[in-house]
């Protein structure tokens, strides 16, 4: 059926965006079988590192040591009072907590933290996962699975079948960022025949390690977070491992190598996970990889606003590069809208405009509610531009496009069937 008016267009796009199920291609969530590695509930929401960093801005007399000595409940109490009672909670991270409470049917106006705690205490993990996936209209998510984290490695060695709604991603940061300092020793302790130098023997050992975990996890991709200083090519163990180990193994298993570039780790170590910052990266490193290994697939997102245009242009030039998400400090409405408009104008629907990056299950609600609204508004403007040219738009075409943006383009890129069926 053909769209007849801009009023009809607006209503249909909003409805389609609201009702299309999502594949969330990058999160830090875990399936129920991973036990307490899956975070959920009001105290986890309030002690999320975004809110921790905000709280310290309003608490100049509070020492970092005093805060970290508190229990999680005490930290949550302080954050609630500081950010939600003593100040208006209009930052995106604070607003997100309120969106979650509202979507769960709780009385946000009451400001009653204890009543919220009672609600979450009444839920089991399994039923809460089902509830959040239903309310967020998320069909499946991709975890971040790091075999260098002892608790995660131990769970992978013992769990059986993983909930099919939770796909795996093999995270390999220590392999690239700490090889010479410590990681080669860990692989050696685990029985891999490696040494500190990236020799032929070491290459074989690293490849063996990667193959083992790929077969165990069946990941959608391998992933790493990289600093703004990342360059390729370069004379380093990191570059050698990428070229001689990651690239050939990724090609062997036909999975992408995902690069999240631009984080300056621990600029304020006292803040813990909240102490990371951002820097401008070199898009040329991504272009060099895509050009050097045209048979490989690369996923990429960058943390600095200044890198977004260059990365989108790179994606226009290399069909083996898929751009995704508004990562971390970019996950703010004004920046999401700016980036989404620019990407649509340069890449059409061959991009995945958003991922949630959730570390707390409940965040699926607010991150996707907020992003859906922005994506819908941008699409309405773009389709309206087409109508102004005399182009006719079919409703099925809108459904197709939204399905691509909410996971379809990603599944096509990785070469796997889309688990979400869209009529």
76: which 2 tokens? 């949550």
Residue 258's H or E segment, with its range, is strand 257-261
Please report how many Cα atoms fall inside a 13 Å half-sphere around the Cα of residue 362, on the Cβ side. 23
**CA dihedral (142, 146, 150, 154) positive or negative:** positive
Q: Are 173 and 224 in contact (CB under 8 A)?
A: yes
With left for phi above 0 and alpha for psi between -120 and 50, is residue 328 left, alpha or beta?
Answer: left
Q: pLDDT per residue over 187-218, tens digit each? A: 999 999 999 999 999 999 999 999 999 999 99
Query: Which pLDDT belongs to residue 422?
Result: 64
**Beta bridge mates, 22:** 138
Q: Are 72 and 41 in contact (CB under 8 A)?
A: no
Which residues have CB under 8 Å from 375's CB, separation 6+? 17, 340, 353, 354, 405
User: Can you tell me the distance from the alpha carbon of 133 to that of 358, in angstroms, rounded to the nearest whole number?
Assistant: 13
Query: Which pLDDT belongs to residue 348?
Result: 96
Single out the residue of 44, 33, 126 nearest to residue 363, CA to CA.
Answer: 44
Q: What is the full per-residue pLDDT of the chain (423 aa) written as tens digits?
A: 999 999 999 999 999 999 999 999 999 999 999 999 999 999 999 999 999 999 999 999 999 999 999 999 999 999 999 999 999 999 999 999 999 999 999 999 999 999 999 999 999 999 999 999 999 999 999 999 999 999 999 999 998 889 999 999 999 999 999 999 999 999 999 999 999 999 999 999 999 999 999 999 999 999 999 999 999 999 999 999 999 999 999 999 999 999 999 999 999 999 998 999 999 999 999 999 999 999 999 999 999 999 999 999 999 999 999 999 999 999 999 999 999 999 999 999 999 999 999 999 999 999 999 999 999 999 999 999 999 999 999 999 999 999 999 999 999 999 999 998 766
Query: Residue 105 burial by CB count (10 A; 0-12/13-18/19+): exposed, middle or buried?
Result: exposed
Q: Are 31 and 38 in contact (CB under 8 A)?
A: yes
User: Can you tell me the distance from the alpha carbon of 51 to that of 362, in angstroms, rounded to the nearest whole number?
Assistant: 15
pTM above 0.85, yes or no: yes
- Domains with residue ranges and CATH for the chain: 6-414 (3.20.20.140)
Query: Which pLDDT belongs to residue 161?
Result: 87
């Amino acid at each position: 059926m053909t769209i007849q008016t801009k009023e009809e267009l607006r209503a249909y796009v909003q409805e389609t965006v609201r009702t299309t199920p999502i594949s969330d291609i990058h999160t830090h969530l875990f399936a129920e079988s991973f036990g307490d590695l899956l975070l959920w509930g009001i105290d986890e929401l309030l002690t999320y590192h975004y809110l921790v960093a905000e709280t310290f801005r309003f608490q100049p007399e509070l020492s970092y040591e005093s805060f970290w000595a508190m229990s999680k409940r005490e930290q949550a109490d302080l954050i609630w009072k500081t950010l939600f009672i003593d100040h208006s909670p209009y930052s995106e991270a604070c607003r997100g907590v309120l969106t979650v409470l509202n979507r769960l049917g709780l009385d946000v106006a009451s400001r009653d933290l204890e009543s919220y705690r009672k609600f979450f205490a009444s839920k089991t993990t399994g039923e809460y996962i089902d509830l959040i996936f239903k309310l967020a209209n998320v069909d499946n998510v991709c975890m971040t699975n790091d075999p260098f984290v002892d608790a995660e490695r131990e769970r992978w060695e013992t769990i059986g079948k993983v909930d099919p709604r939770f796909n795996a991603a093999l995270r390999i940061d220590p392999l690239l960022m700490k090889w010479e300092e410590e990681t080669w020793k860990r692989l050696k302790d685990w029985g891999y025949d490696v040494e500190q130098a990236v020799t032929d023997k070491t290459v074989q050992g690293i490849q063996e390690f990667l193959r083992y975990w790929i077969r165990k996890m069946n990941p959608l991709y391998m992933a790493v977070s990289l600093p703004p200083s990342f360059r390729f090519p370069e004379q380093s163990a990191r570059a050698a491992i990428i070229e001689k180990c990651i690239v050939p193994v990724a090609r062997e298993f036909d999975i992408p190598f995902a690069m999240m570039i631009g984080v300056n780790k621990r600029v304020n170590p006292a803040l813990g996970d909240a102490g990371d910052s951002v820097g401008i990266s070199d898009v040329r490193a991504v272009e060099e990889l895509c050009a050097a290994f045209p048979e490989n697939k690369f996923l990429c997102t960058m943390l600095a606003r200044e890198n977004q245009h260059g990365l989108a242009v790179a994606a226009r030039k290399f069909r083996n590069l898929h751009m995704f998400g508004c990562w971390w400090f970019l996950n703010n409405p004004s920046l999401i809208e700016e980036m989404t408009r620019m990407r649509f104008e340069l890449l059409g629907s061959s991009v995945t405009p958003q991922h949630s990056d959730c570390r707390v299950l409940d965040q699926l609600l607010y991150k996707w509610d907020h992003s859906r609204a922005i994506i819908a508004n941008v699409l309405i403007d773009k389709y309206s531009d087409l109508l102004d040219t005399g182009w006719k738009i079919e409703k099925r075409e809108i459904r197709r496009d939204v399905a691509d943006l909410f996971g379809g383009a990603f599944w096509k890129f990785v070469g796997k069937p889309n688990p979400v069926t869209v009529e």
